[in-house]
Structure 1
Amino acid sequence: MTDGKDGDSAGFVARHRPGRDRDALVAQAADRADEIPMLRDSLAGRPGNLVPLTEEALALAGLRQLLGPEDAVPALLRLGARAAMAAGATVTPAEPPLRVDLGPPGAIELPRGRERPTGLTPRRLVEACHAALATRDRIALDLFAQVPVDRIARQPPAPEERIYGLAHAQGLQALLRGDAAGNQLLLQAIQGCNDTALAPAARDYAQFIVSPEIELALLHRDPDAAQFDKALRNALVLHRRYWSELRPNPGEAQDSDPAGFIALGPLAWAAMRHDQGLPVGIRSDYLPQGLVDGAV
């Protein structure tokens, strides 16, 4: 494992150094690993726990990418993707219950016709979509196609949802069903990332994380390998800067947040590009290489 920009090379972007020691991160991983089966077992009676399950699974995936074993990462990303998309799909009008496989002990049934689950946002759907694309998880992607994205935003929508979040999630949905309108929605979203109506912390996140991943979505089929690799490298460097240098809350570092240890958007589009038979010339601690290559 390498840390920080000093570990970079022409074809490699190194991870930032966490601000907590390894023992503290190992303890955090153990706590999250204990939480996941309890949340999964609670879903029959408390389907709202799909969103916390998503959060715990994606966080543990980040910690496993940092600490190992890396081969645990794909299953955690799939679980997080399916849980979030299932939460979104339950918002559809009442009809036969939704059956979804979230791992042992097997498929569960969830009621439909629910209100938007607390904590589910367009951004969470985008993260889940990236996790599903990175792991080639057809179950999660099929669930995403059922989600009424316009009903997932808060009411009234938060500025980041109104300005770019809804367009981003809807653009991905359209892109995945082969609708050319997806590109226009993604262009709308990327333009919104610079909107001065966003609060400073929200604009930082949009510019450092969201905008670069949308650029990769728009470029992932581009035969120009140099252009894609330039955008991928830029996205990874900005990802590192966001998680290691910026402080959205004054005085509070975020360099040990598990969300920073995997670059989900860049990972998704690198994996998709690989599956198009196009080269990906940048590697990184932020990108599980087995997922980029489709080997796991």
Structure 2
Amino acid sequence: MTGGRAMDGDSAGFVARHRPGRDREALAARAERRAREIPRLRDSLAERPGNLVPLTEEALALAGLRQLLGPEDEVPSRLRLSARAAMAAGVMVTPAGPPLRVDLGPPGPPDPRGPVELPRGREPPVGLTPRRLVQACHAALATRDRIALDLFAQVPVDRVARQPPAAEDRIYGLAHAQGLQALLRGDAAGNQLLLQAIQGCNDTALAPASRDYAQFIVSPEIELTLLHRDSEAAKFDQALRNALVLHRRYWADIQANPGESQDSDPAGFIALGPLAWAAMRHDQGLPVGIRSDYLPRGVVEGAV
């Protein structure tokens, strides 16, 4: 699928962000509520480790709101927290053994509360899905977070999906998450799994809303995964631009539920998959010729 119409602010090397339907004051109030919720969820984990999933959701949403409203320098720490929380939830599904100790604190000085101690041998927490692991992987890659990536390597992805698997997991989600795991450990089988996932994004067995998400968001980010080492800069930039325009179209124009706009959803303010692969390409010394409001520049360049 290729991108749609241009909008004001677009140029040959820049993709502008869509305009949210809610005003800045309402969005700022949302951001403050989420900022207050994150410490509460963090402090509840000893008694309720399943709260790792709401924690990853709140942190990712706050990253999107900070990208829109500022300050942008808060975005990386929120992405890292989201990634570590999701991956820790995945590792809890491993067979029973010594407790898992994870530092969820910000970069810099150690968290004065110390690492969180979490049980193993648990059922997957409610809301943890292969797609959530993919998002966490992208957040970890974008912010170069070795802790989250090391946790990802331990996650039994096939046990995270509920049984029987949802259509999204069965058709593309499991292959996508497992393909990323294989790719990151240097296993060439990852490419085949990613190709399987990208083909699944067009499967007619998906419900219409799920197929929209797969075609507008998931398929373009897998294409970038497969191209991120390509020495032909024009090819990557074309795929990156297409992914960003489709991201904008999905969040600005597509209704996941009839009559329900998505234009103010914080998930739409950062293009997480494109951000991850642009950052990876930057670190490999390969050019990235497209900029966007959806791609925090300091994250792409590893400056924050």
When normalised by structure 1's length, the TM-score is: 0.98
CA displacement 1:79-109 (0-9 Å, x = unmatched): 0000000000010001111000001322111
Partner of 2:85: 83
Any residues of structure 2 matched to 1:168-247 within 5 Å, and which? 168-247=176-255
Matched, 1:6 2:14: no
Mark the runs of 5 or more structure 2 residues left unpaired by the alignment.
1-5, 106-110
CA displacement 1:192-238 (0-9 Å, x = unmatched): 00000000000000000000000000000000000000000000000
RMSD: 0.6
Matched, 1:145 2:153: yes
Please, which of 53, 67, 71 is the counterpart of residue 69 of structure 1? 71
Please, which of 133, 136, 139 is the counterpart of residue 141 of structure 2? 133
Amino acid at match of 1:164: Y
Moved more, 103-112 or 199-208: 103-112
Matched, 1:154 2:159: no
Please, which of 260, 265, 270 is the counterpart of residue 273 of structure 2? 265
SS in 1 for 2:101: strand
SS in 2 for 1:109: strand
Please, which of 12, 35, 43 is the counterpart of residue 37 of structure 2? 35
Any residues of structure 2 matched to 1:44-55 within 5 Å, and which? 44-55=46-57
**Separation of aligned partners in 2, 1:10 and 1:27:** 35
Amino acid at match of 2:92: T
Q: CA deviation at 1:6?
A: 1.1
Amino acid at match of 1:175: L
Partner of 1:97: 99
Q: CA deviation at 1:184?
A: 0.3
**Separation of aligned partners in 1, 2:94 and 2:143:** 25
Partner of 2:3: none
CA displacement 1:238-270 (0-9 Å, x = unmatched): 000000000010000000000000000000000
**Separation of aligned partners in 2, 1:130 and 1:5:** 27
Q: CA deviation at 1:5?
A: 1.6
CA displacement 1:166-206 (0-9 Å, x = unmatched): 00000000000000000000000000000000000000000
**Separation of aligned partners in 1, 2:264 and 2:116:** 34
CA displacement 1:22-78 (0-9 Å, x = unmatched): 100000000000000000000011100000000000000000000000000000000
SS in 1 for 2:231: coil
Runs of 4+ in 1 over 2 A off after TM superposition: none
Moved more, 104-113 or 7-16: 104-113
**Separation of aligned partners in 2, 1:218 and 1:289:** 22
SS in 1 for 2:117: strand
Q: CA deviation at 1:16?
A: 0.2
**Separation of aligned partners in 1, 2:152 and 2:114:** 20
CA displacement 1:117-165 (0-9 Å, x = unmatched): 1100000000000000000000000000000000011111110100000
SS in 2 for 1:5: coil
Q: CA deviation at 1:295?
A: 1.1
Q: CA deviation at 1:12?
A: 0.2
**Separation of aligned partners in 1, 2:228 and 2:78:** 24
**Separation of aligned partners in 1, 2:21 and 2:203:** 31
The count of aligned residue pairs is 293
**Separation of aligned partners in 1, 2:68 and 2:282:** 23
Matched, 1:286 2:291: no
When normalised by structure 2's length, the TM-score is: 0.96
**Separation of aligned partners in 2, 1:136 and 1:102:** 15
Partner of 2:263: 255
